[in-house]
Each structure stands twice: as structure tokens, then as C-alpha cells.
Amino acid sequence: MEQLFDKKGFICDMDGVIYHGNLLLPGVREFLDWLKETGKEFLFMTNSAQYTPRELQQKLERMGLEVDESHFYTSALATARFLSSQSPGCSAFVIGEHGIQNALYDAGITYNDVNPEYVVVGEDRGYGLDVITKAIRLVNAGAKLIGTNYDLTGPTEDGIVPACRAFLAPIELATGKQAYYVGKPNPLMMRTGIKMLGVHSAEAVIIGDRMDTDIVAGIESGLDTVLVLSGVSTVEECRRFPYRPRLIIDGVGVIPATYKAEQSLR
């Protein structure tokens, strides 16, 4: 744990690490206070493309946490950044909510349900047969398929819900085309996060609840890795992967509590 205290930058997942749905997880308030008090650079990085950074800021504010908007980076922003770098001014048919829609619009990418260059899929509570069928036809007509993130499921206060990869599955199966996923564990998103922190990868750590996105993303990007058991992955599931996090803890509240205990002994 002492090795963790020396890190300069912290990248933290949100769902399953900071909250479940609208329920703040235990120890998060103390963890955030510790980050600020010890002068750590930190970034909340979420694979969810549903919300804008301002909406995430306001969500934490409703939970009693004060975090500046600059501390958030989403797969929606990463997707918009990727598409604008690949094909500036392109158009896309979008399955997703205002987080991804706003990010694409701000990047100069227009909505197109006739002959788009891309079909972009994120989480969407309005997901149904009509949009699936539309997406399949557009991909078959030549549109390139993009997924905002690689999460198959996500945690909420009521249990597991389907996420982006589950929404993409019927489109991939029906078209025979594999989507390109922009969010974690894609190193594109991680490299941008490290640049935003302003630290070297060796000086940073990622804290996440998923072995298949957060932890592998950290390993492949040269970050230290911490798995929390407050979200999706369990200790039993962790053993089935060929890679391991350096540290497994119950939740982020363990970090400030351990730091405080060690300081009191000095």
C-alpha cells in the first residue's frame, strides 16, 4: 500500500468505484478528501457515454462531493476525439444519449441516418428493434461500426444492467462486422487521461472494479493497478484472468484509512 501513497496521479473509474447508480459508495468522501489534501492529480474516467462531464459533476454534487468539471473524462469524449482525428467533419448515426450526442456535436460530427460514415453505439435507454434494424442496414451499406466502450454490463444500486457491448452484440452478429471500441481498455483513452493528469505513466495508478477493462487498461498503459471489490469483478473472477492487479481492496475508503493509520505510527 505504501507504494500507492507515493503515486502522483490517480485515474479512477466511477461506476462500481465511486457509486452504484445514485448511491455513493462507502469511503468515497474520505478518499476524495485524501486526494485533495495530499496534492494528488486525479481524474474520474468512465466508460459510460451517457453523461457529459458537467452532468457527472452535478451528480457528485448531489451526493455532497465538490469536484471540478475538469476532473472528468468519458468514453463519449474519447470517441468524439477519435472520430474527429480520423475523419474531420464526418457524420454518424448515433445510438446513445446526450453524453455521446453532445460530444460528437462539439467535435463537429453531424447526425446522419441516411448515409453516415459511422454508426456509433453507446448506452441508450431508448434502445429497441427500430434502431437496431436501422444500424444493421447502415452498416451493411458501408458505415463503419464504433462502440463507445467495451463494458458488457454495469453495476447499479439495483444490480447488474446491460452496457455498450451488449447493445452492440446483435448488430455485430447480424452484419458480421466487428465494432472498434474506443473506451477502456483501448490505450487511446488511457494515454489521453495520463496527459490530462500531467504525470508519467510510472507515476500513476488506475483504480477500477473491472478486470476486463480497468485493470488490463492499466497494465497495457504502464500504470500501477488497484482492483476494488465494490463493483463488478470478484476475487474468484480475478483468478480466471491471465493478468493480475497489483493490489485488491474492498473499496477506495481503504486507502485513506490505511494512510491515516500509518501516519499515526510515525
Which residue of the set 15, 209, 212, 224 is catalytic? 15
Better pLDDT: 66 or 266 = 66
Q: How confident is the model at residue 126 (pLDDT cuts 50, 70, 90)?
A: confident
Whether the per-residue pLDDT at 66 is higher than 80: the answer is yes
Report whether pLDDT(265) > 90.
no
Query: What confidence tier does 1 reach under pLDDT thresholds 50, 70, 90?
Result: confident
Q: What is the pLDDT of residue 262?
A: 84
Residue spans per domain, the chain? 47-201
Instruction: Write down the H helix ranges in the chain.
Output: 2-5, 28-37, 53-62, 75-86, 98-106, 129-140, 164-175, 187-197, 216-221, 235-238, 254-264
Residue with cell 486525479: 42
**What cell was used for 174?**
447480424
The single residue of 13, 124, 214, 224 carrying the catalytic annotation is 13
How many residues make up the chain in this entry? 266
Residue 185 is which amino acid? Answer: P
Q: Provide the pLDDT for residue 263.
A: 79
Q: How far apart, in Å, are the Cα atoms of 18 and each of 90, 130, 192, 231?
A: 35, 34, 21, 9
130-182 pLDDT per residue, tens: 999 999 999 999 999 999 999 888 877 778 788 999 999 999 999 999 999 99
Mean pLDDT of the chain: 94
For CA atoms 237, 240, 245, 249, give the dihedral sign.
Answer: positive
Residue 256 has a pLDDT of 96
Mean pLDDT of 243-254: 96
Q: Give the bridge partners for 154, in sequence order.
A: 161
Buried b (16+ CB within 10 A) or exposed e, 57-72: bebbeeeebebeeebb
Rounded (to 5) percent helix, strand, coil in the chain: 40, 20, 35
Cell numbers for 23, please give them.
448511491
Residue 2 pLDDT > 90: no
pLDDT of 85 reads 96
Q: Distance of CA 253 to CAs 95, 145, 226, Å? A: 36, 39, 13
Q: Is the pLDDT of residue 266 over 80?
A: no
pLDDT, tens digit (0-9, with 9 covering 90-100), for 75-110: 999 999 999 999 999 999 999 999 999 999 999 999
CA distance 167 to 193: 26
User: Cα separation of 17 and 259, whole Å?
Assistant: 19
Domain 47-201 matching CATH 3.40.190.10: the answer reads: no
Contacts of 2 (CB under 8 A, 6+ apart): 262
pLDDT greater than 90 at residue 264: no
pLDDT band at 21 (very low <50, low <70, confident <90, very high): confident
Interval 221-245: pLDDT, tens: 999 999 999 988 999 999 999 999 9
Task: Please list, in sequence order, all residues whose beta carbon lies within 8 angstroms of the beta carbon of residue 221, skipping any fewer than 6 positions away.
Answer: 187, 190, 191, 194, 201, 206
Percent of the chain with pLDDT over 70: 100
Nearest to 123 by CA among 215, 179, 47: 47
The residue among 72, 115, 123 whose CA lies nearest residue 93 is 115
Known active-site residue 13: yes
Q: What is the pLDDT of residue 65?
A: 96
The pLDDT score that the predictor gives to residue 153 is: 86
Q: Residue 96 has what DSSP assignment?
A: S
C-alpha–C-alpha distance, residues 123 and 103, integer Å: 14
C-alpha R_g of the chain = 19
Residue 108's pLDDT is 97
Q: What pairs with residue 45 in β-bridges?
A: 73
Q: Is the pLDDT of residue 3 over 90?
A: no
